[in-house]
């Protein structure tokens, strides 16, 4: 008996939860926000699974939802001004095993969101450029341009740091 799309989606979500969390965390650098992003992405995927036409596209389709949720949270955070009085500030929480403590990762997070997404999906999630194009909704040449522009910028920034 062939699995239906819903079962395929559930199986995929259950298998790759840690990867989803890692990607969300790479955007927001906050445990609770990353968990919320993954939860919201899963809920949206389950609500809209019928829009998925091809079982082979589950990965790209879900990552698109996940990336969009991550970017939405970042955008919302930028709109909300934080209190500047220093009182009541939270102590930052650092998730071991998901946080990469190196200059390269910091440099990637300084890139614009479109370029950052391409680099994270390509190198941390090991996706093909074609899959990234599907996830971001950009054409393949645009994805390539963003990747190479981002890598060039990273190289320049890292050389400046080392100098």
Q: Find the CATH number of the domain harbouring 161.
A: 1.10.10.10
Cβ atoms of residues 93 and 31 within 8 Å: yes
Cβ atoms of residues 123 and 22 within 8 Å: no
Cβ atoms of residues 74 and 113 within 8 Å: yes
Of the residues 80, 110, 131, the one at which a domain ends:
80
List the chain pLDDT tens, one digit each, 163 residues. Answer: 457 888 988 999 999 889 999 999 999 989 999 999 999 999 999 999 888 888 888 999 999 999 999 999 988 888 765 554 444 444 445 454 444 445 677 888 889 999 999 999 998 888 999 999 999 999 999 999 999 999 999 888 888 776 6
Question: Apex CA 45: angle with CA 34 and CA 118, to 5°?
Answer: 60
Residue from 103, 128, 110 nearest 118 by CA: 128
Alpha-carbon radius of gyration of the chain: 17
- The confidence score (pLDDT) of residue 77 equals 84
The two structure tokens encoding residue 22: 């890692």
The two structure tokens encoding residue 79: 């709109």
Q: Are residues 72 and 113 in the same domain?
A: no
Of the residues 20, 48, 80, the one at which a domain ends:
80
- The confidence score (pLDDT) of residue 124 equals 87
DSSP SS3 for 24: helix
Range of the domain at 127: 101-163
User: How many domains does the chain divide into?
Assistant: 2
Helix axes 5-15, 31-47, angle to 10 degrees: 170
């Amino acid at each position: 008996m062939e699995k239906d799309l819903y079962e395929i989606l559930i199986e995929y979500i259950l298998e790759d939860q840690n990867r989803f969390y890692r990607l969300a965390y790479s955007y927001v650098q906050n445990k609770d926000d990353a968990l919320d992003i993954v939860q919201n992405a899963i809920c949206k995927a389950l609500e809209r699974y019928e829009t998925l036409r091809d079982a082979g596209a589950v990965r790209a389709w879900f990552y698109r939802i996940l990336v969009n949720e991550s970017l939405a949270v970042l955008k919302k955070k930028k709109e909300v001004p934080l209190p500047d009085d220093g009182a009541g500030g939270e102590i930052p929480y650092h998730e071991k095993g998901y946080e990469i403590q190196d200059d390269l990762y910091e440099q990637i997070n300084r890139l614009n969101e479109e370029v950052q997404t391409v680099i994270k999906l390509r190198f941390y999630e090991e996706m093909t450029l074609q899959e990234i194009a599907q996830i971001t909704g950009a054409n393949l040449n645009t994805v390539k341009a963003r990747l190479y522009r981002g890598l060039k910028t990273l190289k320049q920034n890292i050389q400046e740091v080392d100098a």
